[in-house]
Amino acid sequence: MTFRYALELAYRGTDYHGWQIQPNASSVQEEVERRLSQLSGNNPVSVIGCGRTDTGVHASYYVLHFDAFKELDCNQLVYKLNKMLPEDISVFSAQKVNETFHARFSALSRTYHYFVHREKNPFLLDSCHLTQECDFSAMNRAAERLLGKQDFTSFSKLHTDVKTNICTVSKAAWIQKEDQTWFFEIQADRFLRNMVRAVVGTLLEVGYGKLTEDQLQEIIGMKDRGEAKLSVPAKGLFLVDVAYPENEFLRTNRSL
């Protein structure tokens, strides 16, 4: 008999080659699995995350699930994991969930924030420094063209193994946090590899006056990655929320 558990956690992705385990490269998944395996008496434990994040991308809110062969004390599990994990990975909670819960496939939506700032600031290293003026109003008008169910091939990394590039975007807007500090918020039912960073890079071209809103719409319609602009650096990108049906998973409302 097995018992399924879900963990809420956060991580700073700077020193990792993304969430997913890969050969000869450090990953967040590998770190978490190693510690869970140690806690289970060195019996291998595999975890399934709510999605992939690329090299250098962060998560202020992330969900994973795993199966155990015995019931666990959730409070003790959180305490022990946080003692064992490196400082750039933090576990908020552990909870027992139904065996049908799946961290990836049960998710209804995911939300990302991409942070930018105008003035050089050593305390904003996880934000992209914009070295020229940007028209955020124009970028917000253009961002409205992203809403709805569309084919986002133009913003997807090439040669991925997904069956479709269609996503339904429910939020897309630039929000001012404080003077000279902004973030782009985008929420969708699913995201393609590199999609958010490519979208932000293209929106910035609108902000710089190099693209129009109509040209952004044309880029979407072309379904060609070569038509979109360069991706922005990974360091400014955070996964900030993952939504699930309330009867399957209860969020603790804690995040960084």
DSSP label at 120?
A: -
Question: What residues are labeled active site?
Answer: 54
- For helices 74-84 and 28-39, the axis angle rounded to 10 degrees is 120
Question: Are 175 and 185 a contacting pair, CB within 8 Å?
Answer: yes
Of the candidates 119, 114, 113, 122, the one whose C-alpha atom is nearest the C-alpha of residue 180 is 119
Question: Are 7 and 91 a contacting pair, CB within 8 Å?
Answer: yes
Beta bridge partners of 182: 116, 176
Q: Which alpha helices (DSSP H) does the chain contain, by range?
A: 28-39, 74-84, 136-143, 195-207, 213-222
**H-helix or E-strand spanning residue 8:** strand 3-11
